[in-house]
Amino acid sequence: MQKLNSWLLTLLSAVLLVISWPVSDFTFFIFFAWIPLLAITATPIRKLTYFLHLFIVMLGWNAGTTWWIWNSTDIGAIAAIIANSLLMCVPWLGYRTFFHKYGRKTAYGALIFFWMSFEFIHLNWQISWPWLTLGNVFAVHPNWVQWYEFTGVGGGTLLILLVNIGLYEVWIQWKKSPEERKLKKPVWLLVFLSVGMLTGFFYFKYRKPASVQDAIQVLVVQPNINPYTKFTSDLLSTQVNRLVALSRSNMDSNTRLVIWPETALSAGDWQENTRRNPVYQPLFEWLAQNPRVSLLSGIELFVNYGTEKTTPSARSNENGGYYDAMNAAVMANAQQPLQYYYKSKLVPGVETLPDFLRVMAPLFEQFGGTSGGYGKSSTSAVLTSADGKAVVAPIICYESIYGEYVGSYVKKGANLLAIITNDGWWGNTPGHKQHLQLARLRAIETRKWIVRSANTGISAIISPNGEIVATQPWDTMATIQFSVPLSNYQSLYVITGDAIYNCMLLLAVISLCWHYWHWLKSRWSKK
């Protein structure tokens, strides 16, 4: 009977995680999702069996929320889901070790430190995939987490862990006889967290918005071009003409900034040839006719390094030189030199390979990735409109799920965030919807307006409180024109970044050192 209960708890945990995740409306279930795993840890089962329980929960969570990756790469999706599920088991294995060696309450701290350290590492290493960071779960309810302006998503992760632990403690104490119950501490913890959330909700609801220095009329273009055919050479000119026609027919005399999506300019020429490329001539003719307009667009291009292999991703050409292929953004207008930014946060396995997997490059190419990989920028960069008003953060697709990285644009002076993306690879699945919702958290963290141009949708304008104030639906050729406020305000999160994660990583290291010290002492005492 106990074995049956353990497996039922395992399935319950996986189901709760899946149904609470965006774009579901059942977000509240995340506060109960870890309780079954906490209960399983307390049962006397073997370590291998415990690991199997963990893996099923994590596999169910990953597969149930990110199965749509399959639409762009089938084998790659399977590998990514399995690998991520295995990695997610590690913090819980650490929790089990601390639970059986030092007791339940000490282990709670270890679980918080280890899980948040895992999330932090997953944000920053070469196989980064932070899509399932726990704090992302509130993306469809931005009013719940206006305090992300101070903590970022790390604060949401901490809240979820604390509430799960508090409710589990209440459940443990409630099962005891009335004489043995000790409900005071867990109840006070839950009351404290509830009051804190309510106080934060009302504070942010009624406080004055950050000051606005200026505004700029923006036209967001959604061309709705099939991502699987857009790189076909005979269609490149047609695509550029469509983008120009949409822009010309929907702008007015007040339009100052036009946003095109990721890889909208996909001719794949050398960077220095961008203005001379015949495919792009309709674009530059249109800009010449509208000298007060600036265009921010995604672009595929090559950067020539000559005879020096400047970067690990550089490829060799037939003349003995080296170059990088770049997924980039360009700011163009009639008068000034072109400004470029190269995408920095590349998708593992699809746009880049970790150093330790480069020997497997041909295999990744076969399953939908790129063997050479893209080059990348080492840091963020801002691009400025022709009139100097808009200092734009050119956030390319996957980069929008990195809170601290998006904040780095603001540190460099960005007063407007622009997300350019091409979510059509995933088809009409939860993928593009989740991606849109995550952008709402970036708006809250930075307190900046976001303009989002998605090739096939969903394009949107997002206010600093995470509200979607204008949008165009999926699979539609459309535009959005909006007067977007500009602000130089820097939130506490922009200034401090992922400080909460750094603290948890330090505490995790201290906990492991403490555990290792106890292990050494026990070894010495046996000699």
Q: In 223-290, where does DSSP find H-type helix?
A: 236-250, 281-289
Region of residue 421 (left: phi > 0; alpha: psi -120 to 50; beta: else)? beta
- Residue 292 shares a structural domain with residue 317: yes
Q: Which helix (H) or strand (E) holds 323?
A: strand 322-332
Residue 466 is given by DSSP the state S
pLDDT of residue 329: 97
Residue range of the domain that includes 424? 214-489
- Residue 254 shares a structural domain with residue 141: no
User: Is it the case that residue 311 has pLDDT exceeding 90?
Assistant: no
> What domain count does the chain have?
2
The span from the CA of 76 to the CA of 66, in Å, is 12
Mean pLDDT of 368-389: 81
- Residue 397 shares a structural domain with residue 433: yes
- Residue 222 shares a structural domain with residue 282: yes
More confident residue, 420 or 518: 420
- Residue 417 shares a structural domain with residue 277: yes
Cα–Cα distances (Å) from 460 to 354, 433, 523, in that order, read 33, 11, 60
User: Is it the case that residue 283 has pLDDT exceeding 80?
Assistant: yes
User: What values do phi and psi take at 195, rounded to 5?
Assistant: -65, -40
- Residue 381 shares a structural domain with residue 278: yes
Mean pLDDT of 493-515: 95
Report residue 259's pLDDT band, with 50, 70 and 90 as the boundaries.
very high
Name which of 312, 304, 260, 273 is nearest 419 in CA terms: 260
Residue whose pair of structure tokens reads 């059942």 in the numeric block: 26
Catalogue the long-range contacts made by 123-130 (C-beta closer than 8 Å, 24 or more residues apart): 123/402, 123/404, 123/498, 123/501, 126/348, 126/352, 126/354, 126/355, 126/356, 127/83, 127/348, 127/349, 127/354, 128/345, 128/348, 129/80, 129/84, 129/348, 130/401, 130/402
User: What values do phi and psi take at 241, rounded to 5?
Assistant: -65, -40
User: Is it the case that residue 358 has pLDDT exceeding 70?
Assistant: no
User: Is it the case that residue 269 has pLDDT exceeding 70?
Assistant: yes
- Residue 71 shares a structural domain with residue 166: yes
pLDDT of residue 5: 83
User: Is it the case that residue 267 has pLDDT exceeding 60?
Assistant: yes
- Residue 266 shares a structural domain with residue 403: yes
User: Is it the case that residue 371 has pLDDT exceeding 70?
Assistant: no
- Residue 200 shares a structural domain with residue 314: no
For residue range 294-306, list pLDDT tens digits in order.
999 999 999 998 8
Cα–Cα distances (Å) from 490 to 106, 403, 409, in that order, read 37, 14, 11
pLDDT of residue 365: 43
Mean pLDDT (the chain, rounded): 88
The span from the CA of 451 to the CA of 438, in Å, is 13
- Residue 7 shares a structural domain with residue 105: yes
- Residue 444 shares a structural domain with residue 507: no
Domain CATH for 302 = 3.60.110.10
Mean pLDDT of 172-201: 67
More confident residue, 447 or 80: 447
Q: For the ranges 131-135, 265-269, 491-495, which has the lowest average pLDDT?
A: 265-269
- Which 3 state secondary structure label does DSSP give 37? helix
Report residue 366's pLDDT band, with 50, 70 and 90 as the boundaries.
very low
- Residue 112 shares a structural domain with residue 260: no
- Distance between start and end Cα atoms, the chain: 42
Cα–Cα distances (Å) from 233 to 240, 243, 281, 423, in that order, read 12, 16, 16, 21
Residue whose pair of structure tokens reads 């979510």 in the numeric block: 423
Structure tokens at 376: 């990348």
Cα–Cα distances (Å) from 415 to 328, 342, 450, 488, 491, in that order, read 20, 20, 10, 5, 12
For residue range 92-123, list pLDDT tens digits in order.
999 999 999 999 889 999 999 999 999 999 99
Q: What is the pTM of this model?
A: 0.90
